[in-house]
Amino acid sequence: MKKLLFKIIRHHKNKRYGFTFLESMTVLCVTSVVLLLLIFGIHIFNQFQINEKLFWNTFDETWNHSLVLARNDNTSVNVAFYPNDEVVFKSFNHGKRYRKTVQMPHGLSVVKRYEMNISEKGYVKPQTVYWKSSNTNERVLQKFQLGWGTYRNEKENL
């Protein structure tokens, strides 16, 4: 009797092991969608951080160029910070007009409008410009120091 029962169970048992084709395709599709979302999400997040680094590098180059221009041409340079938009460096001396605009990346902005002046000698009044980055969830304090127009950026978590 035991042998007969074993034969019947063995005969009716599904002889295929593992997943069916439909189950395998479903798991493959779900896994692919999750991986694609993770890859593109990380890529977009990294792109915002890269854009911020590019902005700070461009700002630094333009700032240093403006310092050299002020000293060499013996003219002052006006720097205006516009929220959610741009930083504009401009000067006018002896018929030569200098204007350089640095666009802010999406997610980085000054808290309010600031304006400062780089003197003919390259000096800048000490002050702090407050930035907010929604990309990195940080506040950046850009501290301009007295003497030769240097500055440093300090980051704080929001």
pLDDT in 10s for each residue of the chain, 158 residues: 667 666 666 665 555 566 677 887 888 888 888 887 777 766 666 777 889 999 999 999 999 999 999 999 899 999 999 998 899 999 987 778 889 999 999 999 999 999 999 999 889 999 999 999 988 889 999 999 877 788 999 999 97
Looking at the DSSP bridge assignments, the partners of residue 143 are 128, 152
- The rounded distance, in Å, linking the Cα atoms of 85 and 83 is 5
All structural domains of the chain with their residue ranges: 21-157
**Regarding the domain with residue range 21-157, which homologous superfamily does it belong to in the CATH classification?**
minor pseudopilin epsh domain (3.55.40.10)
Residues whose CB falls within 8 Å of the CB of residue 156, separated by 6 or more in sequence, listed in order? 138, 139, 140, 141
Q: Considering only CA atoms, give the Rg of the chain.
A: 31
What CA–CA distance (Å, rounded) separates 117 from 133?
Answer: 25
Contacts of 55 (CB under 8 A, 6+ apart): 102, 103, 104, 105, 108
CA distance 95 to 102: 23
Backbone torsions φ then ψ of 50, nearest 5 degrees: -65, -40
